Amino acid sequence: MTRVTVSVSGSYDVLIGSGLLDSLGARCAAVHAPCKAALVCDSNVAPLYAQRAEQSLAAAGFDSLRFVFPAGEKSKNLETYTALQNFLAENRLSRSDIIVALGGGVTGDLAGFAAATYMRGIDFVQVPTTLLAMVDSSVGGKTAVDLPAGKNLVGAFHQPILVLCDPDTLATLPEEYFRDGCGEVVKYGLMSDAALFDSLAQAPIRSRLEAVIARCVEIKRDVVSVDEFDTGLRRILNLGHTFGHGIEAAANYTVSHGCAVAMGMAIITRAAAKLGCCPDAAVQRLEALLESCGLPTRAPVPAEAIFAAAMGDKKISAGRLHLVVPRDIGRCEILSVAPNEAMDWLKAGGAE
Ligand SMILES: NC(=O)c1ccc[n+]([C@@H]2O[C@H](COP(=O)([O-])OP(=O)(O)OC[C@H]3O[C@@H](n4cnc5c(N)ncnc54)[C@H](O)[C@@H]3O)[C@@H](O)[C@H]2O)c1
Ligand SMILES: [Zn+2]
């Protein structure tokens, strides 16, 4: 088992290791007195893992209650949030009770936002079961639900008291979602760790899950502990995402998030090489690694459409875009560019 300690407002451990799901109760008991535990999971994860989680919680003295919602991003909204709040209130959870989010990023974001706001905030534990949730969404304290006008528009910063990653749960994760998580893993290597990047090129991620997840969590921890509330350095985590979000929107969400991030990373790295900021070899290494993960490197939508969608993204401040640009594998910088320059980067990156 690997332990990564995150020190932000409050300090918590991220534990990564095979079989940890069965020690959920004991691990919770180490950070919180036994109480009521609202276990939140979606309709795919509940039949797979909820019973084991409940047995473990019960054995450690927790009184667990299960809330299940229909799987999918469509459920990450105010209706499901309200249903969850009502469930907590009807079951008389108090400020000293906890929520346990068991599932992917949708579950973590929804349950985390409910925990941030129920009775002005109660403790919660993250048990991520997708690769994306393990390396990204469960760490850092961002919680949110979507509005019809856009994703993650209503939310709060609320750090978990414990994150428990059991890589064995990834055995049941459909391949397409595993691949999406690989996009984020490659991002961490390209962004700040050439050794991680090289290790991914040498052996498949599946063959060394604990080490890869732990390293990604450490990298995210290092960023969020400097910029807990997303006012500066945290933007670096958007590598591949500015154009990636544009691609997702321009393609009407027919391209998955991980695939769009892969395309976004490939575009910005090709552009950086073309504009002389980064060696050509970095482009070849990135494209080869993405392809070995089954991820695409070319966008299926025109540059104009990506640009228009990226300009609508909420992360744009004062009419300028923050582009995270690789200087080499494992090293990048944040550039603030005017909209017309962003178009130049897109074109230089081979978006047509
Ligand atoms: N809070 C953050 O910092 C942050 C960061 C990145 C992404 N996100 C959010 O995360 C969400 C995406 O997360 P996701 O990709 O995990 O989506 P998800 O939660 O919808 O999970 C993907 C699919 O896998 C299924 N699933 C989950 N675990 C499984 C398992 N072990 N076995 C079988 N099936 C399983 C789910 O039911 C779902 O169908 C988005 O809403 C995004 O906005 C948040
Ligand atoms: Zn992402």
List pLDDT tens digits, range 250-297. 999 999 999 999 999 999 999 999 999 999 999 999 999 999 999 999
Contact 326, 268 (CB under 8 A): yes
Rounded to an integer, the average pLDDT of 15-26 is: 98
C-beta of 43 in contact with ligand 1 (< 6 A): no
- Atom 34 of ligand 1 has which residue's CA nearest to it? 173
The residue with tokens 């290791």 is 17
Residue 303, phi then psi, degrees to nearest 5: -55, -40
Encode burial over 46-84: b for 16+ CB neighbours within 10 A, e otherwise: bebbbeebbebbeebebebbbbbbebeeebbbeebbeeb
The best mutation among 81, 106, 187, 228 to test binding of ligand 1, ranked by most ligand atoms within 8 Å of the C-beta, falls on: 106
DSSP SS3 for 352: coil
Residue among 109, 134, 179, 220 whose CB has most ligand 1 atoms within 8 A, to mutate? 109
Report the pLDDT averaged over residues 92-117.
Answer: 98
Q: Is the pLDDT of residue 319 over 80?
A: no
Indicate which residue's Cα is closest to atom 44 of ligand 1: 137
Query: Is the CB of residue 112 below 6 angstroms from any atom belonging to ligand 1?
Result: no
pLDDT bucket at 135, cuts 50 / 70 / 90:
very high
Give the atom of ligand 1 at the shortest distance from the alpha carbon of 49.
Answer: 31
Measured from the alpha carbon of residue 116, the closest ligand is 1
Position in ligand 1 atom list of the atom nearest CA 169: 31
179 Cβ inside 6 Å of ligand 1? no
CB 166 within 8 A of CB 18: yes
Give the C-alpha separation, 122 to 115, whole Å: 5
What whole-number percentage of the chain has pLDDT above 70?
A: 98
> Are 4 and 134 spatial neighbours (Cβ–Cβ below 8 Å)?
no
Helix, strand, or coil (residue 144): strand
- How many A from CA of 50 to the centre of ligand 2? 26
**How many A from CA of 181 to the centre of ligand 1?**
9
The distance from CA 309 to its chain's CA centroid, rounded to whole angstroms, is: 21
In single-letter form, the type of residue at position 147 comes to L
Q: What are phi and psi of 155, to 5 degrees?
A: -165, -170
- Using CB atoms within 10 A of its CB, is residue 319 exposed (0-12), middle (13-18) or buried (19+)? exposed
Structure confidence at residue 318 (pLDDT)? 59
Of 171, 116, 160, 153, residue with least CA distance to 138: 160
> Does the pLDDT value for residue 117 go beyond 90?
yes
pLDDT given for residue 198 in this prediction:
97
Q: Which strand (E) or helix (H) includes residue 290?
A: helix 280-292
Whole-angstrom CA distances from 180 to 183, 184, 187, 320 are 5, 7, 11, 28
pLDDT grade for 350, boundaries at 50, 70 and 90: confident
Ligand nearest to C-alpha 160: 1
Ligand 1 contact, 69 CB (< 6 A): no
CA distance 334 to 325: 6
Residue 313 token pair: 């993204």
Ligand 1 contacts CB of residue 184 (under 6 A): no
| C-alpha 1 to ligand 1 mean position (Å) | 23
First-to-last alpha carbon distance for the chain, in angstroms, is 46
Nearest to 24 by CA among 131, 118, 88, 101: 101
| 278: its two tokens | 């980064």
**pLDDT over threshold 90, residue 320:** no
Please indicate whether residue 11, judged by its CB atom, sits closer than 6 Å to ligand 1: no
* Interval between CA 95 and ligand 2 midpoint (Å): 32
Does residue 227 have its Cβ closer than 6 Å to ligand 1?
A: no
- Alpha-carbon Rg for the chain, nearest whole angstrom, is 20
Span 81-100, pLDDT tens digits: 999 999 999 999 999 999 99
pTM, two decimal places? 0.96
Q: Report how far ligand 1's centroid is from the alpha carbon of 62 (Å).
A: 26
Task: Give yes or no for a contact between 21 and 53, defined as CB atoms under 8 angstroms apart.
Answer: yes
- What pLDDT is recorded for position 311? 81
The yes-or-no verdict on residue 159 having pLDDT over 80 is yes
Instruction: State the closest ligand 1 atom to the C-alpha of 180, by its place in the atom list counted from 1.
Output: 15
* C-beta separation of 87 from 38 below 8 A: yes
Q: Which residues of 137-153 are buried (b: 16+ CB within 10 A; e: fewer)?
A: bbbbbbbbbbeeeebee
Write the DSSP symbol of residue 121. Answer: -
How do residues 178-222 score in pLDDT, each as one tens digit? 999 999 999 999 999 999 999 999 999 999 999 999 999 999 999
Q: How far is the CA of 257 from the centre of ligand 2 (A)?
A: 6
**Ligand that lies nearest to the alpha carbon of residue 136, given by its number in the listed order:** 1
Alpha carbons 327 and 251: distance in angstroms, whole number: 29
Tell me which ligand sits closest to the C-alpha of residue 130. Answer: 1
- Which range among 39-43, 172-176, 204-208, 311-315 shows the weakest confidence by mean pLDDT? 311-315
**What is the predicted pLDDT for the residue at 283?**
98
- Contact present, 269 and 330 (Cβ < 8 Å): no
- pLDDT at position 347, please? 92
Kindly tell me if the per-residue pLDDT of 317 is higher than 90.
no
User: What ligand has the least distance to the C-alpha of 108?
Assistant: 1
Give the pLDDT mean for 101-114.
98
Tokens of 108: 């973590």
Q: Is 169 helix (H, G, I), strand (E, B) or coil?
A: helix
* pLDDT for res 131: 98
Which residue type, as a one-letter code, is found at position 230?
A: D
